[in-house]
Amino acid sequence: MSENTAAARPSARSVKALYILILFFMALTGFGQMPIYNRYYMSDIPGFGWLADFYITRYIHYLGAVLLIGLSSYVVTELVLSRRRVRLNPNGWARAALLTAIGLSGALVVVKNFSYVHFPDGFIIAVDLFHLAAAVALLMTNLACLITKRRWAGVD
């Protein structure tokens, strides 16, 4: 591999910073899908009025989902192409499972928003609650791992 190719790859630190930034905006806009920012007057804070706009938070949330999928795809592809052996720790498996659960339930939430798709009301409520619970579980797991300084994986 040439030096130019290695220099063009983002560092692990920048990938981690991007992951944290994406998760922050995903959580911020995800909770914005519920009317909590307007109800509790957080959107009255100067510069935060956009948090009360359902469509703005929805599109930012969708953009964040695309970025998260892209970042996840990049990391997995980079690991496969580098041929390094990576062993996920139990907390790495938990975070990967939660990200997968969020992605799959999020895809169902997007599909249910199409005008020609009709799911039973109980199913929609269950998917929404599962998506929210998985997101909160991921945030809490990431916070616990950050506090205890646990990494995702060990590299051989």
40/140 Cα distance (integer angstroms): 23
User: Is the pLDDT assigned to residue 3 strictly greater than 60?
Assistant: no
150/145 Cα distance (integer angstroms): 5
User: Is the pLDDT assigned to residue 6 strictly greater than 80?
Assistant: no
User: How far, CA to CA in Å, does 83 sit from each of 13, 71, 76, 80, 91?
Assistant: 20, 19, 11, 5, 22
Q: What is the pLDDT of residues 106-135, one digit of tens each?
A: 999 999 989 899 999 999 999 999 999 999
Q: What pLDDT sits at residue 64?
A: 95
Nearest to 60 by CA among 37, 90, 85: 37
* Residue-averaged pLDDT of the chain: 87
Quick one: pLDDT band at residue 156, thresholds 50, 70, 90?
A: very low
End-to-end, the C-alpha distance of the chain in Å comes to 20
**Measured over all CA atoms, what is the biggest interatomic distance in the chain, rounded to whole angstroms?**
55
Task: Determine which of 16-20, 78-82, 136-140 has the lowest per-residue pLDDT on average.
Answer: 78-82
Task: Determine which of 4-8, 18-22, 81-85, 111-115 has the lowest per-residue pLDDT on average.
Answer: 4-8
User: In the predicted model, what is the mean pLDDT of residues 47-65?
Assistant: 91
